[in-house]
Amino acid sequence: ALGSLRNLEKLFVPTGDGIHQVAKLIVRQCLQLPCLRVLVFAETLDDDSVLEI
């Protein structure tokens, strides 16, 4: 599913309860985006997610 996003350079993740619950999954999936240079989480990450980055 991420194949079409391989050239993505910037990802701005919205806030919300659903995003908070899957933040670690989003971080892991970003490893599949080789061109990603900017990843923005606003008030979403917990300590575990930050350590994973």
Segment 19-45, tens digit of pLDDT: 877 888 888 888 889 999 998 887 766
Q: Which domain holds residue 15?
A: 3-52
Mapped onto helix, strand or coil, the DSSP state of residue 12 is strand
Q: CA geometry: angle at 50 spanning 52 and 30, to 5°?
A: 55
> How many separate domains does the chain show?
1
Residue 53 has pLDDT above 70, yes or no: no
**pLDDT-based confidence at residue 2 (cuts at 50, 70, 90):** low
**pLDDT-based confidence at residue 1 (cuts at 50, 70, 90):** low
Q: Which of 28, 22, 12, 10 is nearest to 46 (CA)?
A: 22
